[in-house]
Amino acid sequence: MVGHLFGLDDYIASGQRFERVVFDISTHELVSAHRILKAIEHFGVQHVVMGSDTPYARDALALAIERVRSLSLSDPEKDSILGDNIRRLLDTCC
């Protein structure tokens, strides 16, 4: 799990697929819509999970959800980010 999309450009530059890497998109102040879409473009929506950094950022959860809902993605893709991906990961590991 890579928090805040840190190192996204390095992961992309490596040219590897990183099938077991998942990117957390918290927080609203650190992660732009552009970077979320970049992660999806290079690794697929199944590698992106919603994050909020709650309780550290004010209104972080609501802002994170709003950011995902505003993306130019299909409803199933948004659902994947907002909970389906992390549910799938937890089901396979625990």
With a cut of 80, say whether residue 94 has pLDDT above it: no
Q: What does the pLDDT read at residue 61?
A: 87
pLDDT in tens, 16-39: 989 999 999 988 888 999 999 999
Structural domain range at position 81: 3-93
State residue 30's pLDDT score: 86
Q: Cα–Cα distance between 86 and 20 in angstroms, integer?
A: 13
**Strand, coil or helix: what is 9?**
helix
Neighbours of 17 (CB within 10 A): 12
Instruction: Give the whole-angstrom CA distance, residue 85 versus residue 75.
Output: 14
Domain count, the chain: 1
- Identify how many contiguous H helices and E strands the chain contains and give both numbers: 5, 2
Q: What is the pLDDT of residues 82-93, one digit of tens each?
A: 999 999 999 987
